Structure 1
Amino acid sequence: MDSVSDLSSVVRLNIGGKKFCTTADTLTQREPGSVLAALCSGSLTFCQDPEKGYVFIDRDGKHFRHILNWLRDSVVPSLKESEYEELLREAEYYDLFGLIDGINAVLNNRKEDDKLDTELTRTDIIKCIQSEKVRFRGINLSGLDLSKLDLSFVDFSYACLKSVFFSRANLQCAKFRDVDAEGSVFHNAILRECEFTGANLRGALLAGSCLQSANLQDACLIDCSFCGADLRSAHLQNADLTGANLEGAILEGANLKGAKLSNANLKGANLQRAYLRHVNLRDTQLEGAKLDGANLLGAIR
């Protein structure tokens, strides 16, 4: 096939007997190093179909429409696992590395979902919260998207909440006692007066969340992000905040007695009137932090 200089030129392909029409632009723009792009430039040649104007490629054309749609929109289709394996072979043949990465990401996510074995769906949760008093104590809800829901006063105690999305959810006065919520996302969530006593929130994202008067005593908050979070009057006694990012957080009046703050980032945080007696602040970043009126008696700095 001669090179196609006009990217708007129509390209006719016969893939294993299935006919497709597209443009040179579609075949070249997203994956310029692919076999299909090389076909358009003329650096690779294929058999000419007996029917004039078609280029014949001896591959199974079953999934080629998915390849064209991915080249157009960069969207990985929703398929069965066996079909993904077939599409993956075709993507490898055509050197479509972006599509290969996308398929592998989908397959990996499915494997993780299978491991999590969630007991309820988002729809189940919505139906449940219409009741007057809701409890999900001890239930596995890992990996669910519960963002933007009104979950105020719901009891999640002892539940498995790994990698749950609570972004922008209303969780005021909800109970998370001893939950395993490692890696969960509470970005911009309302968590006022919540109870997280003894909870595992390692690596959780709580940036921009409202945690006024929340109880996080004895909680594992290692590597958590509280950037810009409102923790006024929060109870953080004996909480492990090792490596946590609290940059710009409001901790006015918070109780941090016995909290571990090694390598924590408190730059620009508001710690006015916070209780920090005997807290080890030696390895804590406090540049620009407000400490007016804070109780620092016996604190190590």
Structure 2
Amino acid sequence: MGSSTPWSPSPIRLNIGGKKYSTTIDTLTQREPNSMLAAMFSGRHNVCQDSETGMVFVDRDGKQFRHILNWLRDGVLPMLTEVEYQELLREAEYYQLLGLIDYIKENSGMKDGEISKAEFTRKEIIKIIQSDKIRFRGVNLSGLDLSKLDLFLADLSYACLQKTIFSRANLHKAKLVDVEAEGSIFQDSILRECELFGANLSGAILDRANLQSANLQDACLVGCSFCEADLRSAHLQNANLTNANLKGANLEGANLKGAKLNGASLQSANLQRAYMRDVDLRDTHMDGAKLGGANLLGATR
């Protein structure tokens, strides 16, 4: 059941990763009005509720959500261990609770730009890969060297992958939905048919990567480098490619409807038969680009 109407003042029932909570609309929206939680319960978006219980399900860490609620209610947290702070920071980043993120960094000693310690070593990752099912949903793998590993069908959704190295890795059909992967390196990697919906790949390097038919809808790709990457038939609807480098990339048949390409470089790129309706092309560099059969209706130049 979906709801896009204003919520009633009665308690909101939440199921966070199997743990159940009750709270109010005011708690979820007032302290952090620009957060994802505030947006969910603003009445402007469809939110799925269980038809029998009326609960809203969110597939996140239910244990850490009690700290999220305490922060939203009182603006303070109990003293936590370094590991607990790292776990809570990951949840705060997912829910886009900017005030809580600042609070954690101030009280845990973390510095801006500092990468929290990965939860696994490369050796441990290799052992997990050798098991039947590879699942790293929501874990922190920041800064690890995972180059050349076979991560076919791996589930990395919601993971923290900041400055992680995936050069020459096989991520064919892997799931990286909503990952935080700023500055990561996917150079020469296989990302064919990969799910990157809503991923944050700001500043990532994907030169010569194979992204055929990959789903990058709504992804943040600001400043990414896709030099000579294979993006044939890729789904890039509403993706933010501002200042991205796509020089020599193959985007034949790609769907770029509504994408932001202002300031991007598409020099010598292959855009034949690409769907580019309503694309923002302001200040885009397109010298030598192939545009045969491309649909540019409504594009902003």
TM-score by length of 1: 0.62
For the residues of structure 1 that align with 2:117 and 2:282, how far apart are their CA atoms? 43
Q: Partner of 2:128 in structure 1? A: 128
For the residues of structure 1 that align with 2:289 and 2:219, how far apart are their CA atoms? 23
Report the AA paired with residue 171 of structure 2.
Answer: L
- Structure 2 gaps, min length 5: 1-110
Q: SS of the residue aligned with 2:235?
A: coil
- Structure 1 gaps, min length 5: 1-110
Q: Partner of 2:215 in structure 1? A: 215
Query: 1:111-162, CA deviations, whole angstroms, 9 ceiling, x for partnerless residues?
Result: 9998421100000100001112111000000000000010110000000000
Contact 2:213 2:234 in 1 (8 A): yes
For the residues of structure 2 that align with 1:186 and 1:115, how far apart are their CA atoms? 18
For the residues of structure 2 that align with 1:295 and 1:236, how far apart are their CA atoms? 14
For the residues of structure 1 that align with 2:279 and 2:299, how far apart are their CA atoms? 5
Contact 2:115 2:162 in 1 (8 A): no
Q: Partner of 1:228 in structure 2? A: 228
Is residue 250 of structure 1 aligned with residue 234 of structure 2? Answer: no
Q: Partner of 1:280 in structure 2? A: 280
Q: CA deviation at 1:280?
A: 2.2
Report the AA paired with residue 139 of structure 1.
Answer: V
Match runs of 1:182-221 below 5 Å: 182-221=182-221
Q: Partner of 1:174 in structure 2? A: 174
For the residues of structure 2 that align with 1:215 and 1:226, how far apart are their CA atoms? 15
Contact 2:259 2:278 in 1 (8 A): no
For the residues of structure 2 that align with 1:233 and 1:115, how far apart are their CA atoms? 34
Q: 1:114 to 1:293 in 2, by over 3 A?
A: closer
Report the AA paired with residue 179 of structure 2.
Answer: V
Query: 1:193-241, CA deviations, whole angstroms, 9 ceiling, x for partnerless residues?
Result: 0011000000000001000000000000000000000000000000000
Match runs of 1:51-130 below 5 Å: 115-130=115-130
Contact 1:232 1:251 in 2 (8 A): yes
Q: Which has the larger Rg?
A: 1
Q: CA deviation at 1:299?
A: 1.8
Is residue 240 of structure 1 aligned with residue 240 of structure 2? Answer: yes
For the residues of structure 1 that align with 2:162 and 2:112, how far apart are their CA atoms? 11
For the residues of structure 1 that align with 2:128 and 2:114, how far apart are their CA atoms? 23
Q: SS of the residue aligned with 1:116?
A: coil
Contact 2:269 2:290 in 1 (8 A): yes
Contact 2:115 2:143 in 1 (8 A): no
Contact 2:241 2:260 in 1 (8 A): yes
For the residues of structure 2 that align with 1:120 and 1:276, how far apart are their CA atoms? 41
Structure 1 consecutive aligned stretches of length 4 or more whose deviation exceeds 4 Å: 111-115
For the residues of structure 2 that align with 1:144 and 1:202, how far apart are their CA atoms? 18
Q: Partner of 2:151 in structure 1? A: 151
Contact 1:113 1:143 in 2 (8 A): no
For the residues of structure 1 that align with 2:299 and 2:165, how far apart are their CA atoms? 36
Query: 1:13-41, CA deviations, whole angstroms, 9 ceiling, x for partnerless residues?
Result: xxxxxxxxxxxxxxxxxxxxxxxxxxxxx
Q: 1:224 to 1:115 in 2, by over 3 A?
A: closer
Q: CA deviation at 1:272?
A: 0.2
